[in-house]
Amino acid sequence: MLSYQHGYHAGNPADIHKHLTLVTVSEYLLKKPAGIHFYDTHAGKGLYSLQDSQAQKRQEYLAGVQQLVQLRENLPADPWSFFFTQLDALHGGKVTPENLQYYPGSPHWVSALRRTQDQHTVFELHPGEHQQLAELHPNHTGYVVHGDGLSGVVNMLPPRLPRLQVLIDPAYEVASEYTDVASTVEAILKKCRHAVVMVWYPLLAAEKHHELCERLTHALDAPLLQSEWIYKEKPEGWGMYGSGMLVVNPPWVLQQQLTAALQPLAEQLGQPVEHRMLRYNAE
């Protein structure tokens, strides 16, 4: 059963947090010349219209990319300049709150960064989302596989290239995805100890992420950074109130970079926001 479609959520604050982390980690790894194989296990359709019926139904982008564009002049150039370069290019000129129309998905952010010596493989299981992704220009996507990204990435390892980066960004439609993700991260690290693995998870009222975070904290013999952005009051019953990222083998400057990038945004959004960084197992 695959009912989730990211178009309803594209450009929301969780996307900003996830893609900021993805870009910041990638930019750090790309400072060294050795080739990197980038994997994206849950790619989505790569590019989203914010004017279509899915995005307009919930308008989640208003609290995310719309606010980001509004606050552009008050944000530190590093690392937001790359974000705005991409948004400007997609809009054929300077993006403004008035002309904002598109938001890029994770395949696009990595495609915009990767070099000739790197490789980029993305997985998408939903037939409709896969078809739209496959129809995009390779500049937006990387090499597209129609299939399960969790088993897919493990089966493709170890990489031929010297370095490996993996983004795991499921919809968590079913409870077993939390354990499936944990098992996949463990399997990746078993095959490739130096892999840099990023896992996104939602902060839900039901707090389902604790088991995933605790399992990886204890199972992995590698540094693990946890970044959580709480951008709403925690709801009483159902609903998402924030965004979480785990980064295995993070760049040592990541904690500082994410704090510097997100804190001004969080403060200026005027919402009840916390930004916490925890480091487990690190030297």
CA nearest to 43, candidates 139, 127, 168: 168
Q: Closest distance between ligand SAM and the C-beta of residue 62, in Å?
A: 18
- Using CB under 6 A, pick the residue from 4, 84, 241, 280 that binds ligand SAM: 4
DSSP 159: P
Q: Is 71 exposed, middle or buried (0-12, 13-18, 19+ CB in 10 A)?
A: middle
17 near ligand SAM, judged by CB under 6 A: no
Q: Closest distance between ligand SAM and the C-beta of residue 31, in Å?
A: 23
Is 111 a known ligand-binding residue?
no
* Alpha helix ranges (H) inside 205-247: 209-219
User: Checking phi first, is residue 93 left (phi over 0); if not, alpha (psi -120 to 50) or beta?
Assistant: left
The one-letter amino acid at 159 = P
Q: Active site residue: 15, 40, 118, 169, which one?
A: 169
CB of 98 closer than 8 Å to CB of 37: no
Q: What residues contact 187, with CB distance under 8 A and at least 6 apart?
A: 154
Neighbours of 74 (CB within 10 A): 10
CA nearest to 227, candidates 206, 248, 205, 196: 248
169 assigned to active site: yes
* Phi, psi dihedrals of residue 12, rounded to the nearest 5°: -75, 175
Residue with nearest beta carbon to ligand SAM: 105
Near ligand SAM by CB under 6 A, which window of 76-84, 164-172, 238-246, 264-272? 164-172
Residues between 102 and 141 that touch ligand SAM (CB under 6 A): 105-106, 123-126, 129
Q: Which is nearer to ligand SAM, 42 or 163 (CB)?
A: 42
Q: Which is nearer to ligand SAM, 34 or 89 (CB)?
A: 89
Question: Strands 143-146, 224-230: parallel, antiparallel or unpaired by DSSP?
Answer: unpaired
Give the per-residue contact string, 33-72, with ligand SAM (x = CB under 6 A; - = no): --------xxxx----------------------------
- Using CB under 6 A, pick the residue from 148, 157, 161, 264 that binds ligand SAM: 148
Residues between 166 and 185 that touch ligand SAM (CB under 6 A): 169-171
Distance CA 104, CA 94 (A): 16
Annotated binding residues: 19, 42, 106, 124, 148-149, 169
Summarize as ranges the residues that interact with ligand SAM (CB under 6 A): 2, 4, 6, 18, 41-44, 105-106, 123-126, 129, 148-150, 169-171
| Catalytic residue list | 169
